[in-house]
Structure 1
Amino acid sequence: MDAVQGTLDELGTPLSDVTFVVFDLETTGGSPAEHTITEIGAVKVRAGEVLGEFSTLVDPGGPIPPFISVLTGITDAMVMAAPRIEAVLPSFLEFIRGATLVAHNAGFDTRFVKAACAAHGYPPPPNPVVDTVDLARRVLTRDEISNAKLSTLARFFRSPVEPCHRALQDARATVDVLHGLIERAGSFQVHTLEELKSFVRAPTPEQQRKRHLAESVPHAPGVYLFEDERGEVLYIGKSTNLRNRVRSYFTASETRPRIREMIGIAERVRHIVCATALEAEVRELRLIGGAKPRYNRRSRFPEKVVWLKLTAEAFPRLSIVREVRDDDATYLGPFSSTRLADDARTALHEAVPLRQCTQPVGPRTRRAACVLHEMGRCGAPCEGKETPDEYARHVERARRAMTLDASPVFSAVSARMERLSAEQRYEEASVDRDRLASFVRAAARMQRLGAITRIPQLVAASPAFDGGWDIHVIRYGRLAAAGVMPRGAHPKPFVASLTAVAEAVIPGPGPVHAASAEETECILRWLESPGVRLVEIDGEWCLPAHGAARHKARIDLAYRTQDMRR
């Protein structure tokens, strides 16, 4: 048999011969349908050598939201004289012609480029695309990096360029990250562009070898537990179809380094079938909180939350505590860390001049006031300059901001942010943004949770796949029972039987007292999903008319943009 010599084309394009254009965009938001580009930065490289750079601000044709200005440092004044995207786009398309595009979280940037092309009559760029996020997750382990953010990778590969949410600066940092990742990929025998693209999605040998672990898992809703040879739980998950979900861990679609590492250790998959998808989700949370598997990153320590407490005393103050007590105090939370609670406390202090000292203060206390009094941020009740009745007005404003209307805090901190931004003190403004976000998110979350945890019993139903109904009994925000009512069955006897066997739940103090906040939020998401119907309710289910949710929507938009970029 004659030997056949392969052609150079079959060997692929060596990475040293590939021209990469590493690019980054800044935008007014996260959706190309609603937002536009404000800056483009790109670096053309080949074989480690920089061949050229492209950088321009872009006039978005409208105001830049304040939260975006704080994030990027790009203001309306900076883009006032900049060209519009229709003037910039031809030059950018020429710059990337024939190159392989590289971006960090490339889906975000390429969506905006394609949207701009479609809006101005250009075909979408045919360039191959490499995403440094996907590549990093393939070649780096969780012991090396805690996440795949650009700033994290830039530090890991010791880039001299620090990402700062400006397009050219971030593109330059991504160049260093790309070169570090390509060097790592070489140890996996990846030397061509074609090998690089297929390598990112290829399953590992361990994934291929352990596909049999999914064979005994049924097609049903429930919870699955990956265990090692000693029976230790490594990872817990849930799914509406256990078999399909578990099988996906052994395919190319599973690229998370920590999960691929876990699969290398796992020796069996145990499953628990549940009546409904909601029961599976709740059971997953409870099991994770109990077993604390090392490969689960979220929900492992529900008991470690903290609260911001408006104390019950003559001159109340804001204190960070780990326990909610039945003591007539007002609580805000839960927070996942003391830092977030402290951020929320600082935001509230910006709007309400509560005392910040920790010493007890009573009507007869007399001691010298601190510097906060001189700054106009405290009425000095410790010096007798403020009576309990006068101070009580501040306390009521704080309590109202925590439980009913966050507008005073939002307005006070936003005004400070705008002032700092106008002075180009963007780092300080971004700190205030994070503080405001911590307060508003906690207030909105607590108001949602408190609305349902006050209800002794709520029964709701949603359509099941087979024409029946998924029925859930919820008591004080905790899932007490779940069942599937068959098609054609009479609802009253079924609901009566389900409530009769449901878990007894004893209410406690605070807004979240019968279940973890995450469990109650799972229930709320299900209750708010399409098709769900209330069957019975004991009490009222309502939110404050001027609640924090309206402010949270604005804040979340800015942070979604940041998350998509990084």
Structure 2
Amino acid sequence: MAHPAYVQTSLDELDEPLRLTTFTVVDLETTGGSAAADAITEVGAVRVCGGEVRGEFQTLVDPGVPITPFVSVLTGITDAMVSGSPRIGSVLPAFLEFARGSVLVAHNAPFDVGFLRAACIDQGLAWPGFPVVDTALLARRVLTRDEVPNCKLGTLAAFFGAGTSPNHRALADARATVDVLHALIGRLGSLGVQSLPELRAFTAQVSPAQRRKRHLADGLPAAPGVYVFRDAQGTPLYVGTSRNLRSRVRQYFVASETRTRMGEMVGLAERVDPIVCAHPLEAQVRELRLIAAHKPRYNRRSKFPERSAWLKLTDEAFPRLSIVPTARGEAAAYLGPLRSQRQAEAVRDAIHDAVPLRQCTDRLSVRRVVRAACALAGIGRCSAPCEGKVPAADYAALADLVAAAWAGDVRPLIGPLERKLAELSAAQRYEQAAVVRDRIATVVRACARMQRLQALTGIDELVAARPADDKHARRDTGARPGHPGWDIVVVRRGRLAAAGVAPAGTAPWPVIEALLATADTVDPEHEALTEESECILRWLEEPGVRLVHATHPWAVPAHGAGGLVSWLAADSAQRAASPFADRRPLPMSARPARASA
């Protein structure tokens, strides 16, 4: 009697393998970025299975609203093109039928799926609940930064050699996404991803190892503070802050945590140390200090505060601008701290454009001519003190103007740049005018930042309070809603020296006196972390904050750069709303073919 043959099935046979899965790759063009406020102008989709195209879907859509010039230039779709096209109410049922029974794929899927869902709601149609795959998220999971600098569709299409180049038209972008999807699936095969459930679990970026470490969040308090992930040796891996430590740490073990590096970090972590803080400001400050002190490998920002730069006006007979790493206590004037060497160079170039300070590094003397002037003097970019063309007193006035602008009145420094901007605009030299405008913004923002920081760091002691967050202030106090109490801080020379909470129903003055008595002593020679001072400034400038006590007035110069920051913000907002307002008409993208004889 013959016995039946038993065959061990492979894992990819338990679920439908990807090679047999039908995908509908979709791309939309819209009038804007909000699914609630904007409308669809074009739908393009490609239905594929087993690497073969089974069908394509493409149509323009009349959005019912005008298409802005910016969107028309970006996509090439104009009001004339969509005039007479079907409305979304006619297009949507046809698309849903085209995609029925498939997996929906899109590059940056939340955008496209969000618009499709919103359209279904507007038309009274039920959303079919397609399984969704996001190729952008998948690419971030599969590819490294050594391979591609970013995961934009154009970058991925070029990297994988897609047969269609994306051009912000729906069908072309959908075809390019198909090639990207197939290339990514090819990469996933070597990683053991063979079926759709495995693919979706892979893009969720939550490995079984991460899920097994959910116990690390057990016992953490539901309070504001700082959390530190540590490895088996106790080395800090990552430092973060939250208003609710328990809730935030739990997110590292579920699909809501989408950062690839965090999965790797959780795999190495063996414990999480909580540091409970009085309120969120103290938590933010402690986070900055811990990151600067330990430089955890998985923290990207705030790790190297020492990389900031300063612009120095040298103390010599004919001062010049020099970029230095620190501001030392000497007679020279300083502007900073600036965020990077690049920003320092941009500010230096802008000042040289406004004031003809020398740019050479020679040692000059007021008693004799050193050498012949360089080419900069010939084009009016240098006053040529090396040739003796400018008296020492006149050159000193130029240097004093720069130093005074850094410390107070910025108008004399900005004035020459504004006049140059007006001249270039009147001559329709818009590209050069844009460069000058950006230099004005660079100088203003750098000066405003320094003046704001100096206003705070120059105060020996400052006490401030603001209404506490109602939810956290009532914990363990039994206070009634509507009586939140006060968050209180003691700031000394730009550093947070103490933090506390006066609960509802408690007199705040005894709490303030206790904080003052136990506050950290700040050495005047010890420079505060710039990011810490800026964090405190943002908190002090929030609505509802009250200054309780200050040893010195908290003030900025009346004609300082801070007064121009609002003008810069308004100008930036105007240019964002009308991006072509300050530019010439766009040139033709192609020339007509030459007529043949």
> Whole-Å Cα distance in 1 between the matches of residues 448 and 143 of structure 2?
37
Give the letter aligned to residue 287 of structure 2: E
Q: Secondary structure at the match of 2:564?
A: coil
> Whole-Å Cα distance in 1 between the matches of residues 72 and 173 of structure 2?
13
Contact 1:15 1:192 in 2 (8 A): no
Q: Secondary structure at the match of 2:362?
A: coil
Matches within 5 A, 1:101-116: 105=108, 107=110
Q: Secondary structure at the match of 1:548?
A: helix
Structure 1 pair 61–244 and aligned structure 2 pair: CA distance change class (3 A): closer
Aligned to 1:503: 520
What does the per-residue CA deviation read over 1:19-56, in whole Å, with 9 as the maximum and x for residues that have no partner?
313456796xx77899x899989785744769688899
Aligned to 2:351: 348
Q: Secondary structure at the match of 2:253?
A: coil
Aligned to 1:323: 326
Alpha-carbon distance, 1:283 to partner: 1.0
- Does the alignment pair 1:286 with 2:303? no
Q: Which has the higher contact order (CA 8 A, sep 6+)?
A: 1
- Does the alignment pair 1:447 with 2:451? yes
Q: Secondary structure at the match of 1:244?
A: helix
> Whole-Å Cα distance in 2 between the matches of residues 499 and 373 of structure 1?
57
Structure 1 pair 80–264 and aligned structure 2 pair: CA distance change class (3 A): closer
Contact 2:464 2:488 in 1 (8 A): yes
- Does the alignment pair 1:536 with 2:541? no
Matches within 5 A, 1:409-428: 411=418
Q: Secondary structure at the match of 1:443?
A: helix
Aligned to 2:187: 184
- Does the alignment pair 1:459 with 2:463? yes
Aligned to 2:504: 487
> Whole-Å Cα distance in 2 between the matches of residues 43 and 420 of structure 1?
48
Could you tell me which of 273, 283, 287 is aligned with 2:276? Answer: 273
Structure 1 pair 390–537 and aligned structure 2 pair: CA distance change class (3 A): same
Aligned to 1:228: 231
What does the per-residue CA deviation read over 1:418-474, in whole Å, with 9 as the maximum and x for residues that have no partner?
799978x7xx99988876665454334323322322222211112332233221101
Q: Secondary structure at the match of 2:504?
A: coil
Alpha-carbon distance, 1:395 to partner: 3.6
Structure 1 pair 202–295 and aligned structure 2 pair: CA distance change class (3 A): closer
Aligned to 1:68: none
Give the letter aligned to residue 207 of structure 1: Q
Aligned identity (percent) is 48
> Whole-Å Cα distance in 2 between the matches of residues 109 and 344 of structure 1?
41
Alpha-carbon distance, 1:411 to partner: 4.5
Could you tell me which of 210, 213, 226 is aligned with 2:213? Answer: 210
> Whole-Å Cα distance in 2 between the matches of residues 561 and 122 of structure 1?
32
Give the letter aligned to residue 520 of structure 2: E
Matches within 5 A, 1:355-374: 355-363=358-366, 364-374=368-378
Structure 1 pair 463–80 and aligned structure 2 pair: CA distance change class (3 A): same
* TM-score between the two structures when normalised by the length of structure 2: 0.71
> Whole-Å Cα distance in 2 between the matches of residues 519 and 272 of structure 1?
18
Aligned to 1:387: 391
> Whole-Å Cα distance in 1 between the matches of residues 280 and 68 of structure 2?
44
What does the per-residue CA deviation read over 1:301-345, in whole Å, with 9 as the maximum and x for residues that have no partner?
111211222333343322211011223433333233312322232
Aligned to 2:485: 468
* TM-score between the two structures when normalised by the length of structure 1: 0.75
Aligned to 1:17: 22
Could you tell me which of 327, 333, 337 is aligned with 2:336? Answer: 333
Give the letter aligned to residue 545 of structure 2: V
Any stretches of 5+ residues in structure 2 without a counterpart? 1-12, 475-483, 580-597
Superposition CA RMSD, Å: 5.0
Structure 1 pair 194–212 and aligned structure 2 pair: CA distance change class (3 A): closer
Give the letter aligned to residue 332 of structure 1: L
Contact 1:222 1:280 in 2 (8 A): yes
Equivalent residue pairs, number:
533
Contact 1:229 1:266 in 2 (8 A): yes
Alpha-carbon distance, 1:541 to partner: 2.5
Alpha-carbon distance, 1:538 to partner: 2.6
In our comparison, the structure showing a higher alpha carbon Rg is: 2
Contact 2:28 2:41 in 1 (8 A): no
Alpha-carbon distance, 1:208 to partner: 0.9
What does the per-residue CA deviation read over 1:385-434, in whole Å, with 9 as the maximum and x for residues that have no partner?
233344345445544654545855874797799799978x7xx9998887
> Whole-Å Cα distance in 1 between the matches of residues 440 and 167 of structure 2?
21
Please, which moves more after superposition, 356-365 or 242-251? 356-365
> Whole-Å Cα distance in 2 between the matches of residues 173 and 135 of structure 1?
15
Contact 1:24 1:168 in 2 (8 A): no
Please, which moves more after superposition, 377-386 or 190-199? 190-199
Alpha-carbon distance, 1:182 to partner: 3.6
Contact 1:455 1:476 in 2 (8 A): yes
> Whole-Å Cα distance in 2 between the matches of residues 476 and 235 of structure 1?
28
Matches within 5 A, 1:294-313: 294-313=297-316
Alpha-carbon distance, 1:101 to partner: 7.1
Contact 1:306 1:341 in 2 (8 A): yes
Contact 2:498 2:520 in 1 (8 A): yes
Give the letter aligned to residue 236 of structure 1: V
Give the letter aligned to residue 297 of structure 1: R
Give the letter aligned to residue 335 of structure 2: L
Alpha-carbon distance, 1:239 to partner: 1.6
What does the per-residue CA deviation read over 1:82-118, in whole Å, with 9 as the maximum and x for residues that have no partner?
6487778859967977468766555567778999x79
Alpha-carbon distance, 1:197 to partner: 5.0
Give the letter aligned to residue 498 of structure 1: L
What does the per-residue CA deviation read over 1:168-223, in whole Å, with 9 as the maximum and x for residues that have no partner?
99888766654443433444555666765564336211111111111132222222
Give the letter aligned to residue 139 of structure 2: A
Alpha-carbon distance, 1:62 to partner: 6.8
Contact 2:46 2:175 in 1 (8 A): no
Structure 1 pair 113–520 and aligned structure 2 pair: CA distance change class (3 A): farther
Contact 2:444 2:564 in 1 (8 A): no
Structure 1 pair 138–15 and aligned structure 2 pair: CA distance change class (3 A): farther
> Whole-Å Cα distance in 2 between the matches of residues 325 and 22 of structure 1?
56
Structure 1 pair 31–275 and aligned structure 2 pair: CA distance change class (3 A): same
Contact 2:311 2:334 in 1 (8 A): yes
Q: Secondary structure at the match of 1:18?
A: strand
Q: Secondary structure at the match of 2:247?
A: helix
Could you tell me which of 532, 535, 546 is aligned with 1:519? Answer: 532
Alpha-carbon distance, 1:365 to partner: 3.5
Aligned to 1:376: 380
Any stretches of 5+ residues in structure 1 without a counterpart? 1-7, 65-71
> Whole-Å Cα distance in 1 between the matches of residues 349 and 116 of structure 2?
40
